[in-house]
Amino acid sequence: MYWVKCLQEGTIKPWETEVSKNKIAEALGLPIEGDPHKAMNGVDHLLLCYESVVGFAKCS
């Protein structure tokens, strides 16, 4: 999904960020995954990246 978004927007070539979640986060203007790298930190960070790409609306 990230690659498709990049190609549609034409802002960055998706292969320039490789497949590193931290590099994708930086390209999206998000913080990198915090240390220590543990399972739940990774899941939370992946959700943050996913929500940024998909653009979920905030529920009130």
Q: Is residue 59 part of a domain?
A: no
pLDDT in tens, 4-42: 777 777 777 767 767 788 888 888 899 999 888 888 988
Q: Which domain holds residue 17?
A: 2-54
In a domain, 60, yes or no: no
The answer to the question of residue 19 being in a domain is yes
pLDDT score recorded for residue 57: 62
pLDDT at 32: 93
Q: Number of folded domains in the chain? A: 1
Q: Among 57, 55, 31, which residue's Cα sits nearest to residue 44?
A: 31
- Nearest to 1, CA basis, from 57, 35, 50, 37: 50
Q: What's residue 8's pLDDT? A: 76
For the entire predicted model, the pTM comes to 0.68
38-58, pLDDT tens digit by residue? 889 889 998 998 898 887 766
pLDDT number for residue 60? 55
Structural domain contains residue 44: yes
